[in-house]
Structure 1
Amino acid sequence: MRTGEPLPAMGDVLAALATGLWRYDAAGGLVTLDAEAARLVGLPAEPASLTEAGIRARFHPVDWNEVDGIVQLALAEGTIAEMRMRIMDAHGRVVRTVRSRSKPSIDPHTGAYELVGTLQEVTDPSPSAVRSPVTGDWRRSREAFLLDAGRALAEARSTEEVLRVAAGLAMPGFSPDGLAVFGVEGDRLTVVGHHGHKPGAEGPFTQMLLDTDYPAAEVVRTGRAVYLSSPEEYKARYPVSWPLAAHFGRQSWAFLPLTVSGRTMGAWMAAFKHPVTFTPDERAVLTTVARMLAQALFRAGAAETERELTDGLQRSMLPTLGPRIPGMTVAARYVPTGGGLQVGGDWYDLIQLPGGTSGTNSSGGRFALTIGDVQGHDVRAAGLMGQLRIALRAYAAEGHRPDAVLSRASRFLHGMTHGEDGADLRFATCLYVEVDPATGTLEIARAGHPDPAIRMADGTVLMRPTAGGLPLGIDPDADYPTTRLVLEPGETLLLCTDGLIETGGHDLDTGWRRIRRILEEHQGDMEGLADALVQAVHGPSSHHATGPLTDRREDDIAVVLLCRVAPGCGCEPATEIRQPVRRMMLTIAQAEPERIASARHQLRELLHDWSSEDQVDSAVLLVSEVLTNVLVHTDTDALLVTEVFQDGDGLDGRSGRRVRVEVTDASDDLPHKRRPGELASSGRGLVLVGLLAGAWGVDPRGEGKSTWFELHEEPTKDDSKV
């Protein structure tokens, strides 16, 4: 070509280079070829137009099936679509291999893509090159790798497992030696996990602003992958962040978006010690892995959030066992079902009953144990369980007897679940036990629940049949008879839901025999026994609520153990119950107000050796005020009980004696403090009680109330000098 002559036409130049031009309109299904392109696909060397079916017949079917995936990858990354395609003759034989390079574009109106590119004949690699010891059969290796990777990532149950699987992926022919997963928090990158780097190497990349000149930040901003084939390319494109990456000694990097439902949730970095050109096949593998990784991380994160939420919900609905009960030891376990949400309807509770000292159990006051199971293993069951548990606590706090507590609870649950539409009818089983630690007396009411069992002091275990009624919520007018048992020193009471008995293919009979064997053979404290019961059914525990939980469960489990402590019983030591050293009881009827004077006289006799005469006068005055209050403001009789305790039973743990005075009546009207004027003739009773008593209170009972006060003996002058 002489200087000054015009350049030849582009078509002539391409033809001279044995390169053809072609255009593919996916919307119209039409392919246009110039003469060279037509020759390369086996047609006469002249311009031609073919339908999609016509051009597809010229290519190997395996190669044609990959066209759409390669084009979609190029559209997502904004890069060139490059393909190697085998041309077939009429007899199905490969006559040549061509390389296609095209720039895809999307029609905004139809969403279809259009390709304009070149075709050029290339030398087909020899079979030995295709199946070399390094790469093997590329296509077959890639498909097998992606299947294995997809299966492993799909089975990962936590973020930690997903990262471990990603670190172990061996990509065919170009496995990375350094990986990092970046997340997003607000406007900053976070490092979720990494592999192939020293601990602490992630420091400079954590809390990096998204507008930083760093490949992962760009990927999150744009949603497009970044491929860097050499350190020179990295340094040229990202000069600011290159010093952070330079000291790792890598030669190539791929940063890919982690996208779920159209939202980029982070980025994945694959770094290589050897140069990688990132061919279309390699980019396709990396993109597919990134998509699977994003889905796996999203599932794991959602599962972890769900587990945290449901576990917190269940924990919030279960009680702590509270203060140590004098003379008794309690242990409990709750194990939610392993299927779906880890919440269910099983529960247990320990309830302080009215009549304790200063709201504690320090005087051996009565308490109740309750255990139950609301039908179902879903959020609805958990919600009803929480409401029912609160209702039971309220009825117990009012002082009702066990039969009345369950009757009211059944009416409450029936009203909750039998609405106008009757769409969600639920019932609940329940076992309610009122316990008197001083005597070991158990008052038991049962609503369709498994019977309790008792392990005797010699290890013998017996199921204790108790009278019962229908499950709660079925009949609002159901009755629940009460059974009285005595827990002797050294004996242990077992309460459980049916999940402990029937799990593992057992029925009530075989399951009970298994539980009885564990109770009889166990040697150790109550906590160990509770663990043994759960582990025997479901294996070793994995985490705790109020006790160990396991990972795979057929049904919810709730277990409560109550031991009445005795020497050598193996129970955890508990505070000894203090029995009163003196006790006086007197009934004062409405028609006998003169007996108040007798009550004052008997109280003085009971406290004849009390160290403080002023305290005796105060006690006598307060007894008179409380008794008078009952006779004046109610139409019921009054029962006076006075007890004197010795040694360490006093308020705030002081040693010495303590007197407790309790007046019970059958009226539900609670007394209230008043503010009497100077000339008022009444209204000062509770004011005096509050001023003179060391502690006092009013506790509702099932029928009536109890007003009580306590005084702790003050030391004498000689005692104070010691």
Structure 2
Amino acid sequence: MRTGESLPAVGEVLAALATGVWHWDTATGLVSADAEAARLLGLPAEPASLTEGQVRARLHPVDWNEIIGVIQLATAEGTVAEVRIRIMDDRGRVVRVVRSRSKPSFDRVRRTYEVIGTLQEVTDPAPGTPAGRSTVTGDWRRSREAFLLDAGRALAEARSTQEVLRVAANLSMPGFSPDGLAVFGVEGDRLTVIGHHGQRPGAEGPFMEMSLDTDYPAAEVVRTGRAVYLSSPGQYKSRYPLTWPLAERFGRRSWAFLPLTAGGRTMGAWMAGFAYPVAFTPDERSVLTTVARMLAQALTRAGAADTARALTDGLQRSMLPRLGAQRIPGMHVAARYVPTGGGLQVGGDWYDVIPVPGGTSRTKSGGGRFALVIGDVQGHDVRAAGLMGQLRIALRAYASEGHRPDAVLSRASRFLHGIAYAEEDPSDLRFATCLYVEVDPVTCVLEVARAGHHDPAIRMADGTVLTRATSGGLPLGIDPDADYPTTRLVLEPDETLLVCTDGLIETGGHDLETGWQRLRAILEDHDGDLEALADSLVQAVHGPSSHHTTGPLADRREDDIALMLLSRPGEGCGCGSTATVPHRVRRTMLTVAQAEPERIAAGRQQLRELLHDWASPEQVDSAVLLLSEMLTNVLVHTDNDALMVAEISGNTGRRRMRIEVTDASDDLPHRRRPGELASSGRGLLLIEMLAHAWGVEPRGEGKSIWFELHESDGGPPAAPDAAPPAADDNPA
């Protein structure tokens, strides 16, 4: 350049050298590329701003992982990050190889990287030729080491035989990548094809069930344990003339057959075919030998994992019933079991459907009562699975003898307690939660006994979901003399019962409250097939876990999942008339015993769930307050249990809420005028102020007190619609 002339811009110099510039900020997730860098990435030659996903789609999958590792290493060492990258087209083929040199920086506060670098196309001679590798010997060595590290990591992470084969098919060796491969196994004295890539489906036919005595390279490799390298078609034809016609039709120019050896035993052979001549230099043979060893180890691990999965899947299938064989007139049943994502693929969760003998109710088709059972044995190991199998058999035996639900669980608890204390390690005592539901298909009455398990939930015909509080006892196996009271429910037309283990509720970082909210949303929104609903509930647990975990553990679940659904269609149940009515009635019932005052809270929760779409939140609060007063009044001023019945009827916007509490006492409440410091006596005053209508009705043995609220009028009534009858001395 002459003195005094201006220097050209940096961009012009780089463009003249066919070098592109790119910038990546992980905080924004955007990659900026100038026109040359965009061209090298296979895009139009103009400046572009891309997302990480768009850039990643243009690169070989292995190379993207290598870029991340090289950038992290360069940041730690304060050096320049240099890596070769393969650019792929839309059909997954390598169109060019580029060299990236960059200087990364790390923001320790935001924990983000900023990378500024260059891209330049690598113009090596044709792959597979000696010149192609001797031109830049150092690059070949570095590329080989990087390739082997990536290949070893990818094969080590493969968890099944099919995953191993997919990884092997995507391996791109530095300077001499095969265009086809096959993995051969051995069964007895026959050669089999485990998998292949680069050939049409069905092309493996002539090589299946080939005798090990056949004049074929893979058979020779298995017999001798030594590799066979064939650099040209002529060499193949002269050495293996009998099987050359089988290989000729693939049109390849070179072949490498290597033994797959694990534990000192040759378990098969690996064939790598090349569309161009390969000399198979010592460096190339070293790479192929190393890959074959890693492939053999990966196949051995994957084969053992496949066998374990098949064993545990078979074990689980043998322990769970086939619901397709269950014929329940007028009702539909669906169930799912999903093992935990880690460790043993079988655990302590189970479900069962058991025909129950006896009883006076029989359907016209001859079917009788049946029981739904769901439970969870503590732990996720072999012992939990074994105890689960024994407990399931015991429950089935007790139910088949015709015992009532409470007796079935009492006997099962004694059985599990006896097993636990008979074990050699008394410190490893186990218990199990269980929910036992006996169903009468004729009356659609459910008798529920619960042993430390979650309460069932019911989806009503209009989509309302209620958690039905049931009486219960201790988990099975803790106290051999524990009692298990029974709760009676009725499944109305078009209602669905859900019972499940805690894995469905709490997986994904949820607690009981948030887990039920997630399931309630699925149940409320779903109005289709029962099997589809079961699938939707299982799929719901996968989303939240992905927000907390990334990488290989993203799909692992913390606990087994078991669920059962029982639905009663609107017609054909045999439970009386199911004729269409203009307004559906929404109803719930709950018994509060004298010894269980804590169930008042369950009653309040059920009422709130029943009124989830009520127009006035103030009326909902009023109804919950009045219900609490009425239930408490029964427990405090009588010696009887209280029965709550809550019902909603009418069209949305003009509905009527009726709450009734019944007890067996003949004493009728009356209004009092409590003093300023009195702690009681205000119950009827509150009902009179907040309810639109209320009253007290004698019921032969006992009485019921009720009140109504109307959705069309959110405010309190001006005057009560009914006056309470007088009584002697029972304060409200």
TM-score (norm 1): 0.57
Give the one of 461, 466, 480 matched to 1:457.
Answer: 461
Structure 1 residue 259 displacement after superposition: 0.7
Partner of 1:160, secondary structure, is helix
1:27-66 paired onto structure 2 within 5 Å:
none
Q: 1:483 aligns with which of 476, 481, 487?
A: 487
- Contact 2:355–2:371 (8 Å) recurs in 1: yes
Matched residue, 1:311: 313
Which residues in structure 2 correspond to 1:103-502 (within 5 Å)?
132=135, 137-321=139-323, 322-355=325-358, 362-363=365-366, 365-419=368-422, 421=424, 422=426, 424-502=428-506
User: Contact conserved, 2:443 with 2:574, CA < 8 A, in 1?
Assistant: no
Conservation of the 8 A alpha-carbon contact between 1:449 and 1:471: yes
Q: Secondary structure at the match of 1:438?
A: coil
* Identical-pair percentage: 81
Aligned residues of 1:324 and 1:575 also touching (Cα < 8 A): no
Could you list the runs of 5+ residues in structure 2 that have no partner in the other structure?
1-129, 545-553, 578-732
Q: 1:199-224: per-residue Cα shift (whole Å, max 9, x none)?
A: 33322222111112221111111111
Query: Distance between the aligned counterparts of 2:320 and 2:498, measured in 1?
Result: 18
In 1, are the aligned partners of 2:133 and 2:175 still within 8 Å (CA)?
no
Q: What one-letter code is carried by the residue in structure 1 that aligns with 2:542?
A: H
Which gives a bigger RCO, structure 1 or 2 (Cα 8 Å, sep 6+)? 1
RMSD of Structure 2 on Structure 1 (CA): 2.7
Structure 1 CA distance for aligned equivalents of residues 470 and 241 of structure 2: 81
Q: Deviations over 1:563-596 (max 9, x none)?
A: 23325xxxxxx564699xxxxxxxxxxxxxxxxx
Aligned residue pairs, count: 437
**1:506 CA drift (Å):** 1.0
Contact 2:361 2:368 (8 Å CA) reproduced: no
State which drifts further: 420-429 or 252-261: 420-429
Report the residue type matching 1:132 in the other structure.
T
Q: 1:169 to 1:489 in 2, by over 3 A?
A: closer
- Unmatched segments (≥5 aa) in structure 1: 1-126, 541-549, 568-573, 580-722
Does 2:533 align with 1:520?
A: no
After superposition, the Cα gap between the structure-2 partners of 1:524 and 1:360, relative to the gap in structure 1 and judged at 3 Å, is same
* Alignment CA distance shift 1:366-1:203 (3 Å): closer
**CA deviation digits over 1:382-436, x for unaligned, max 9?**
2221211111111011111111101110111112222253254211100111122
2 CA distance for matches of 1:131 and 1:216? 31
Cα–Cα, structure 1 residues 361 and 152, in superposed 2: closer, same or farther, change >3 Å?
farther
Measure the CA separation in 1 of the matches of 2:536 and 2:247: 54
Q: Distance in 2 between matches of 1:245 and 1:456?
A: 66
Q: For residues 516-570 of structure 1, what are the alpha-carbon distances to aligned partners after superposition, in whole Å with 9 as ceiling and x for unaligned?
A: 2222232223223222222222259xxxxxxxxx964221111112223325xxx
Q: How far is 1:325 from its partner?
A: 2.1
Tell me the distance in 2 between the aligned counterparts of 1:458 and 1:358: 29
Taking the aligned partners of 1:480 and 1:491, their CA distance within structure 2 comes to 26
Are residues 578 and 412 of structure 1, via their aligned partners in 2, closer, same or farther at CA, if it must alter by over 3 Å? same
SS in 2 for 1:426: coil
**What TM-score do the two structures reach when normalised by structure 2?**
0.56
Cα displacement (A) at 1:358: 13
Cα 1:359–1:248 change in 2 (3 A) is farther
Distance 1:179 1:420, change over 3 A: closer
1:564 alignment counterpart: 568
CA contact (8 A) 2:456 2:499 kept: yes
**Partner AA of 2:392 in structure 1:** R
Cα distance change, pair 213–479 in 1 and its aligned pair in 2 (3 A): same
| Compared CA separation, residues 168 and 468, structure 1 to 2 (3 A) | same
Residue 191 of structure 1: CA displacement?
1.4
Q: Match of 1:485, SS?
A: strand
C-alpha separation between the residues in 2 aligned to 1:468 and 1:387? 22
Would you say the 8 A contact 2:361–2:440 is kept in 1? no
Q: Is the 8 A contact 1:518 1:532 kept in 2?
A: yes
Deviations 1:487-530 (A, max 9, x none): 23333222111111111111112212222222223222322322
Change in Cα spacing, 1:360 to 1:316, as seen in structure 2 (3 Å) is farther
**Alpha-carbon deviations, 1:649-683, whole Å to 9, x = none?**
xxxxxxxxxxxxxxxxxxxxxxxxxxxxxxxxxxx
**Which structure would you say has the larger Rg?**
1
2:537 matched residue in structure 1: 533
C-alpha separation in 2, matches of 1:367 and 1:232: 74
Shift of 1:359: 10
Q: Output the amino acid matched with 1:330.
A: V
C-alpha distance in structure 2 between counterparts of 1:578 and 1:365, whole Å: 17
SS across alignment from 2:422: coil
1:158 shift after superposition: 2.6
Superposed CA deviations along residues 256-287 of structure 1, whole A, max 9, x for unmatched, are 10011111110011222333222211111010
Q: Is the 8 A contact 1:249 1:273 kept in 2?
A: yes
Indicate conservation of the 8 Å contact 1:327/1:577, yes or no: no
Q: Secondary structure at the match of 1:141?
A: helix
How far apart in 2 are the matches of 1:576 and 1:360? 8
- What SS class does the counterpart of residue 293 from structure 1 fall into? helix
